[in-house]
Amino acid sequence: MTLSRITLKRGREKSVKNRHPWLFSGAIQRVQGQPEVGELVDVYDKQNNFLARGAYNPRSQIRIRLLSWQVDQQIDSDFWHGRLERAIAGRQTLINQTDTNAYRLVHSDGDGLPGLIVDQYDEWLVVQFLSAAVEVHKETIVESLQQLLTPRGIYERSDTEARKKEALPQTQGLLVGEEPPEQITIAEHGQSFLVDVRQGHKTGFYLDQRENRRKVAKYAAGKRVLNAFSYTGGFAVSAGHAGASHITNLDSSAAVLELARQNVSLNQPERDDTYEVADVFQQLRHYQQTEQTFDLIILDPPKFVHNRSQIEKGARGYKDINMWAMKILESGGVLASFSCSGQVSADLFQKILFGAAVDAGREVQIIERLTQGSDHPISLTCPESDYLKGLVCRVW
């Protein structure tokens, strides 16, 4: 089979040689052939040297998602099956554990499968096809997942903004097997959580924070905790389990707060915590104005930065919430602050918190650096796969 040929502009081959999986439209000099959305193409430099093979999308700024750097490698059903098998094998340690039954099995570029997310929740798989590269091979990928894992059902959550960037329609629904229940019960470190995989954020739960929930919880014993952007109560359950005296859960959605309440009650029915529906930015100011303070504050906001043009605005948002959080912490209190914006580097995030500390007039020490769980691997050739960063700080 002869593939369409892509020739790069002079000097634009460096990222390809470094095996970065994204090739942007501005790097392309010439397209020979008429490749359609998701069609395989071969990439060459100006000297006609083969560089890589990938999936083409004329409607996306990321014009080619590179899949192989071997001229003799076929991108066929065996290729997809092999990549999926390798990814799943990399999670075997988690799969063998008895204290959790929910984890990420495929992490997009981190696993050499650009745009593909596969999360397991007990007996169900929840999948996202976020690029044309995997969308056109959906049937093959789903078939391989069935062979490798024999799930009770595979449910699709390709209803995200990322699909728009690929000019793909948003879609959601059962692909094979049984429909998942309204709530799936998952286990994590001896705790239980109810997950709504059909309506919840991402695929239903923030699996990437699994280890961080346990790490932050050790600061909660006997403390008054503010769990801002609480979502369905992941950090609240862990903090309560660690012995927090009281937890204030804050989110703009009444629906997710109700699920947070259910999750806390599922684990500790005796707890009498607070659940406030409010805008976090405004509520933090309100706490400062009413002189309400906390011993531990957890900030786990949604993504503020979706592209480079939003970095400055997003940085202001991160600085604002961290400044107000620092203002309402008791002296010696702990701030656990996170950013899941891939465009915000760890270095920039630390600088943002530095600025927040200066404006808050507080002395701040970093006591821990946190990142995404091991089931969200970071590819050394794709730094964008390193998206979650967290700083645990002591505030004086």
Contact 193, 232 (CB under 8 A): yes
The CATH H-level (homologous superfamily) assignment of domain 206-395 is Vaccinia Virus protein VP39 (3.40.50.150)
Mean pLDDT of 87-94: 94
Give the pLDDT confidence score for residue 95 in this predicted structure. 87
Give the pLDDT confidence score for residue 308 in this predicted structure. 81
Mean pLDDT of 135-153: 97
For residues 12 and 8, what is the distance between their CA atoms, to the nearest angstrom? 6
Q: State phi, psi for 37 to the nearest 5 degrees.
A: -60, 125
Q: Where do the structural domains in the chain lie, given as residue ranges?
A: 4-68, 77-177, 206-395
Give the pLDDT confidence score for residue 343 in this predicted structure. 86
Q: Taking Cα atoms as reference points, which of 374, 218, 210 lies closest to residue 300?
A: 210
pLDDT tens string 250-263: 999 999 999 999 99
pLDDT tens string 28-80: 999 999 999 999 999 999 999 999 999 999 999 999 999 999 999 999 999 99
The arrangement of secondary structure in 77-177, i.e. its CATH architecture, is 2-Layer Sandwich (3.30)
| Residue 393 appears among annotated catalytic residues | no
Element (H, E) at 125: strand 124-129
Residue 219 has pLDDT above 70, yes or no: yes
Mean pLDDT of 330-354: 95
Give the pLDDT confidence score for residue 15 in this predicted structure. 96
- 165 CB-side CA count, 13 A: 14
Give the pLDDT confidence score for residue 1 in this predicted structure. 65
Give the pLDDT confidence score for residue 82 in this predicted structure. 98
pLDDT band at 94 (very low <50, low <70, confident <90, very high): confident
pLDDT tens string 150-163: 999 999 999 998 89
Q: Give the chain's mean pLDDT.
A: 96
For residues 181 and 116, what is the distance between their CA atoms, to the nearest angstrom? 23
Catalytic residue (choose from 340, 357, 360, 364)? 340
Give the pLDDT confidence score for residue 45 in this predicted structure. 96
* pLDDT above 70: percentage of residues in the chain: 100
pLDDT tens string 270-321: 999 999 999 999 999 999 999 999 999 999 998 888 888 888 888 999 999 9
pLDDT tens string 357-396: 999 999 999 999 999 999 999 999 999 899 999 999 999 9
Does domain 4-68 bear CATH number 3.90.1150.10?
A: no
Q: What is the 3-state secondary structure (H, E, C) of 169-233?
A: CCEEEEEEECCCCCCEEEEECCEEEEECCCCCCCCCCCHHHHHHHHHHHCCCCCCEEEEECCCCC
Q: List beta partners, residue 102.
A: 121
